[in-house]
Each structure stands twice: as structure tokens, then as C-alpha cells.
Amino acid sequence: MGYKSDDTFKDVLDEKLKNHDYNGARVHLLETIKTFPNLENASEMLTVCEILCSANTSGTDHEVDWYRVLQLLPLDGAATVETQYRDMLSVLEPVKDDMPGAKLALQFVEDAYNMLSDPIKRSGFDARRKFSGVGFKKNRTLDLPSISGNRRKYPDLLHFDEGQNGDIDIVPKRFCSDNSTNFECDQVWLCYARCTCFVKYARIVSVEPEQMLVNVIWYKPCPKSDKEKKWCDSGLPVSCGEFVQKESAVVALDGPTKFSQLLFSGYECDSKLQVYPKKGEVWAIYKDWHFNWDLAILLKCELYLVEVITNFSEDFGIKVVCLTRVQGTKNSFQRSSQKYNSSISHFDSDFSFLIPPDKLYMFSHVVPAFQSNGTFELDQLTIPENLSEDFSPLSISTGTKTHDSLAINKDLVYDCIYNDSTCQFSPRDFSEEQIWAIFSWLDSMPRLYVKIINIMSETHVRVSFLEPHPMNNEEIQWIEEDLIFSCGVFRKSADTYIVHMSNFSHIVKCDWSARKNYYRIFPRKGEIWAICKSRGMKSNKADNCRDAFRMVEILSDYLSDEKRINVGSLTEVEGSLTFFQRQFHDGFRLTKWVTRSEMLGFSHRVPAYNVTGHEGQPGLPDVMLQLEPSALPPPKDF
């Protein structure tokens, strides 16, 4: 896709720029880049949008922040201003006549350079900027988390609150270290040491405003294992977990310790402090993390950026997904495009994994972020220079190894649409190597198979999915077309998942190979199954209503030499949704032999129970079956 050849994209971008909707143009461009990563002139177009957004010309009554236009820091010297100006010219000059908005962006760059390259003009601008907070809309604020980490990886962090927040009009609510009125007793603050930027937590005891002093009690981490204790004894930073009060101290507001973010107010004095990454936050985590690290290794390590997608659970930790830089941008990130495509669940998962509860020390620091249309805008000052985007299996462990060098558990969390909070199963219902059917996330029918690896907690089980293993060309085509495949040969997949017990339906009886890597799952005599009336159905909750299936009772086991199975038809008892009866015609039961090829139409087993004690009641058959409601497709108008 090229810029000049795509009229639709050009028209949308032109319209937004014409209406001074520079942020909308930028968002539109980022979305296009996601779909077409090789978009022609993407870097140049994005530079134009970023400059126009930074200039903030759409109605603000403030002076333009020329530092933001040139993407500079207030402390950058004349040489840096000159270099950045030349770099932007090299990008904009070749496209100024062909690209909408490029001439205006170029004019802003020229004006910014004229202002910042002249010492007298720059001094006057700095004074106005410091006094009025230019370049920001006063009515738009966002409470962003604070910066921590290794000072070697970032520029001077003290100037983040002066407007260096990438290219969005957001003013983080930052603490000004020379204003003692920000403090009250029993507040808990996140702090960092200016020399290292390592995270610390403090509770305010009292404030001495005239002396610019704050009396605090520092918190220290509560290691829960010998390895965590060794980490803490080595003086390495801990940013999340449980903390207890350690010692009193007097902190000078103009000293090396900087107060960054207010966490709690009115915090109980004797309470343990709990700090865990929260859903929606962006954090940096250490690459190749190991409990045996020392400070020298920590300062040299690379980091990943991840989005936290589940809150902390004591059972299985925190689920995160890796973030990668949007092509052609500096501070825009999105979820990694690497996928796990598993045919057993028809589910494409982002490159996500679990960090178990005993590995939380691999979290380095939270990164300020603003999310818009699936893209994270990060403060450029907080993006590590030693950022790694290598998410290969060599860099992220599957969690099956016994050593701690990677410490990342690449378990995926499977959350089906059907997730009844009143779970009927408990840990005693499960044992290792059992085969279970669980509910499909697409239409909530129990047609996915898993092998139990181990029980993780009172509510969660670790499993491996069983993937279809086609035995002939017809089955290969069936799977490639993403059609329902519920009986045949299956193989154990390599990925492991964490599954809540409410997603389980029933134990599956099957045959297996000597090494238990392959399983033969076929309907067995006495079971009740749902058969698709239309050959070649897909898992689709909107279409797969009760009328799309036929309920049958299995009358014979599958015989591999005969390659067929005998079934008997079932019909609903009148006036009931879950009670079924065997179907007869002129005193003969309606049965059918189903060939191996026709068995591709089997959808899933429906657990059923014989109903007794109603014999002789008018309007009811003598023999009835009650089918499990959760495994029955819903009626059409249900």
C-alpha cells in the first residue's frame, strides 16, 4: 500500500488535517500502519502529525511549546538543537510539496529553531514557559504513574513535569518537590533516589514546612522465600509485593530523594503495604531475569515493556502481554504481533504469558502511559535505551525448565464466555493426566479437550489442549476450513493454559498411545451426543441454536474395522427444554448407522442422566433422559 496510490486513506488524512484534527489524523495513521506496516512514507507522515500535535494549534490560548515541536528537553544544549533541527529538515523538505500538512509542520520546525537557537530568545521563552506552563491545555490532566528504574537508562527525570510527555496534550499530576503543602500525615508515597532511581515507599509522619523537611517511615519488602530474601539482602530494588515499615527518617525536599506519586491517603499505621501491577498499566520487566543477580548485572540488563492484562492473583500471578514499538514512531507501542494460533480453540492469542507469584521481583518499574485506540503513548523519557523486543522462545521460557534464569511462565489464561461463578467442581475432582472436555469460548459448548497437568489452586488447573490430528485428506480440509472437529485422533499441544474450574464440563473416556501424546476420542455406547444437522458447521454462538443440532443416543462403540457407529434419535419431551425421550415410529426405534466420514458432523457430547420416579404420570414417557443444560445449545429465541 502506497500513500500516493491509496485515495481513501489520503482523503481521510486530508480531511482531518484540513479540519485541524491533528490528533485524529495521527490516530488514523497509526491504525493504518498497524494494518499496513510497510506503508510508504509512514515515517514522514507520522513526523508531520507529531509536530502538528505538539504545536497544539487547535484553539489553545497558550504559546507553542517549541521544545515539544523539536522533541527536545529544556536542558539540551545548542549542539543538540542544531542536530535535531537538521534531522527534521531532512525528513520534511523532500515531502513538503506532496504531503498534506508538511509545509505547516516545516514552518513550526523553523519557528522552533529560530526561538531555541537564539540564546536571548530562548532565555525569554524559558522564563515564560516556567511561569505559565505553556503548551498545555489547563483543563486536560491525567494522573499517570511515576518513573523509576536505573538512572543510566533515562535522561534527567526532573523535567518530565515540564511537558515532555511525547505528543499528547496531557499534564501528569506530578509532585513539585519544593512545595511542602502536598504532604499530609499517613500518606504513602512512591519515591526514588535521585542517584539510582530505584523505587522506595514511604509513609508521611509529619511535615516541617519552614525547614522543607518531611518525617517519614520507610517501607522494606517482605520476602516470602529464601531466593527473595537473598535478592533483598543484596540491596537490589523491589517495586511490587508486600512491604512493612522499616525505620524513621528525615527527608529534605531538595535532597537526593524525590517524592513521585501519592499512593494512599489516611493509611493505617500498622498495615502492611501491598503494591502490585494493575490491569491496564505498562511496566518494564527485566530480560533474562535471575534471582542470583547482583547490582552490576542489574544495571546492564535489558528490559521488556509489557501491558498488565490481569490484576494480581495469589493463585497464578499476573498475566502480561509484550509491547512493541509501532513502526516509524518513537514513543507509540502496541501489543506484539506475534501470535499463538491454536486450531483446538480457534483462538489467536497475543504474545501473553503469566508471571507467577513467586517471580514478581522481575518487575522493574511502572511506565507512564496513555492508551488510545489500542496504542499506548509512552513518555519518551521513561522508555529504556536498552529496550529489547526479542520475544523468541530463547528469550521467554515456557516455564517447564527447572532453572530460574528466565522466570517467565508462558502459561496462557483461558477464559471461556461461559464462566459460572458457582463452580460445581473442586480440586478433588481432578487428577493429573485426566482428559476433560471444556466449554468453547466461541459458542460455550463443551467441544474442546484438555489434558490435566496439575492442580494450581482451589479454583484453577493447568492444562494442555488436545489438537486435532487429521488422518486423511478430508479431515485435513475440514480443519483448514475451521469447522467443528470433535471426534477422531488428537495430539497434546506444547502450550500450557491456566483454566478456571467453572470452564470444565465432563471427563472424557478415550484411548491413548504408549507415550500418551496421541488420543482417540470417539462417541461411546450409552453417551448422548449433539450432531450438526448441516454438514460443515463452525463454532458460532449467534448461529448455533437448538434447531441446528440433533440429539442422539450412541447405541454401539466405534469399531475401527467397520468404521461406523449406530445411533438412536432423541426428541424433546413436550413442554421441556432439558428432558428428552427416545424416538419411535410404529413401535420401532429410529436408528441410523453413521459412517466415519459422517462422524465429522458430531458436535459434542452432552452429559445426561436417567430420570426415574415419574412412571405412570400423564403426559410423560416412562423412560426419560435429562440432558445437562450447560451443554445444550440454546433455543432459537432464547
State the CATH number of the domain containing residue 1: 1.10.287.110
Is pLDDT above 60 for 419? no
Q: In this predicted structure, what is the pLDDT of residue 154?
A: 27
Cell of 82: 542544531
Q: In this predicted structure, what is the pLDDT of residue 417?
A: 39
Cα dihedral sign, 240-244-246-251: positive
Determine the angle formed by the axes of helices 78-92 and 102-116, rounding to 10 degrees.
170
pLDDT tens track for 223-243:
988 889 999 888 888 999 999
Domain end position, chosen among 248, 275, 302: 275
Q: How far is it, in rounded angstroms, from Cα 21 to Cα 190? A: 37
* Burial tier of 523 (Cβ tally within 10 Å: 0-12, 13-18, 19+): buried
Q: How far is it, in rounded angstroms, from Cα 327 to Cα 511? A: 49
Number of independent structural domains in the chain: 3
Does residue 470 sit in the same domain as residue 582? yes
Question: What percent of the chain shows pLDDT beyond 90?
Answer: 20
Provide mean pLDDT across the span 407-431.
Answer: 63
Is pLDDT above 80 for 547? yes
Q: How far is it, in rounded angstroms, from Cα 311 to Cα 316? A: 11
Does residue 463 sit in the same domain as residue 609? yes
- 549, part of any domain: yes
Is pLDDT above 70 for 544? no
The four Cα atoms 39, 41, 42, 43 give a dihedral, to 10 degrees, of 140
Q: 323 near 357, Cβ under 8 Å?
A: no
Residue 183 sits at φ, ψ, to 5 deg, of -105, 145
Q: In this predicted structure, what is the pLDDT of residue 193?
A: 62
Does residue 90 sit in the same domain as residue 194? no
Q: 342 near 493, Cβ under 8 Å?
A: yes
Q: How far is it, in rounded angstroms, from Cα 377 to Cα 375? A: 7
Q: Is 460 helix (H, G, I), strand (E, B) or coil?
A: strand
- 190, part of any domain: yes
Provide mean pLDDT across the span 371-398.
Answer: 66
Q: In this predicted structure, what is the pLDDT of residue 418?
A: 39
Q: In this predicted structure, what is the pLDDT of residue 382?
A: 63
Q: How far is it, in rounded angstroms, from Cα 257 to Cα 280? A: 28
The residue with greater pLDDT, 322 or 74, is 322
Does residue 184 sit in the same domain as residue 131? no
Q: Where are the alpha helices (DSSP H) in 176-285?
A: 226-233
Cell of 62: 497558550
Residue 348 pLDDT level (bands cut at 50, 70, 90):
very low
Does residue 98 sit in the same domain as residue 233? no
Does residue 132 sit in the same domain as residue 180? no
Domain extent at residue 74: 1-137
Provide mean pLDDT across the span 488-516.
Answer: 89
What is the chain's mean pLDDT, rounded?
76
pLDDT tens track for 577-621:
889 999 998 889 999 999 999 999 999 999 998 887 666 677 778
Q: In this predicted structure, what is the pLDDT of residue 414?
A: 60
Does residue 124 sit in the same domain as residue 195? no
The residue with greater pLDDT, 406 or 270, is 270
Whole-prediction pTM: 0.45
- 327, part of any domain: no
Does residue 133 sit in the same domain as residue 181? no
Among the listed residues 628, 522, 528, the one whose alpha carbon sits nearest the alpha carbon of residue 568:
528
Q: In this predicted structure, what is the pLDDT of residue 521?
A: 95
Residue 66 pLDDT level (bands cut at 50, 70, 90):
confident
Q: Where are the alpha helices (DSSP H) in 36-101?
A: 42-55, 66-69, 78-92
Is pLDDT above 70 for 552? yes
Does residue 537 sit in the same domain as residue 625? yes
Q: In this predicted structure, what is the pLDDT of residue 359?
A: 86
Q: In this predicted structure, what is the pLDDT of residue 637?
A: 54
Provide mean pLDDT across the span 445-469.
Answer: 90
Does residue 123 sit in the same domain as residue 197? no
Does residue 1 sit in the same domain as residue 100? yes
- 218, part of any domain: yes
Q: In this predicted structure, what is the pLDDT of residue 56?
A: 60
Q: In this predicted structure, what is the pLDDT of residue 550?
A: 93
- 388, part of any domain: no
- 569, part of any domain: yes
Q: How far is it, in rounded angstroms, from Cα 622 to Cα 502? A: 33
- 513, part of any domain: yes
Question: What percent of the chain shows pLDDT beyond 70?
Answer: 74
CA distances from 454 to 354, 420, 431, 559 (A): 16, 22, 7, 33
pLDDT tens track for 83-116:
888 888 888 888 888 787 888 889 999 999 999 9
Best-predicted range by mean pLDDT (46-60, 136-150, 344-358, 450-464): 450-464
Domain end position, chosen among 245, 275, 305: 275
Q: Tell me which H or E stretch contains 109.
A: helix 102-116
Does residue 461 sit in the same domain as residue 582? yes
Q: In this predicted structure, what is the pLDDT of residue 406?
A: 31
Provide mean pLDDT across the span 309-336.
Answer: 83
- Locate cell 469447522: which residue? 483
Q: In this predicted structure, what is the pLDDT of residue 165?
A: 33
Domain end position, chosen among 86, 117, 137: 137
pLDDT tens track for 276-316:
999 888 998 988 788 888 877 887 888 889 999 888 887 77
- 638, part of any domain: no
Q: 254-258, 283-287, 551-555, 633-637 — which is least confidently predicted? A: 254-258
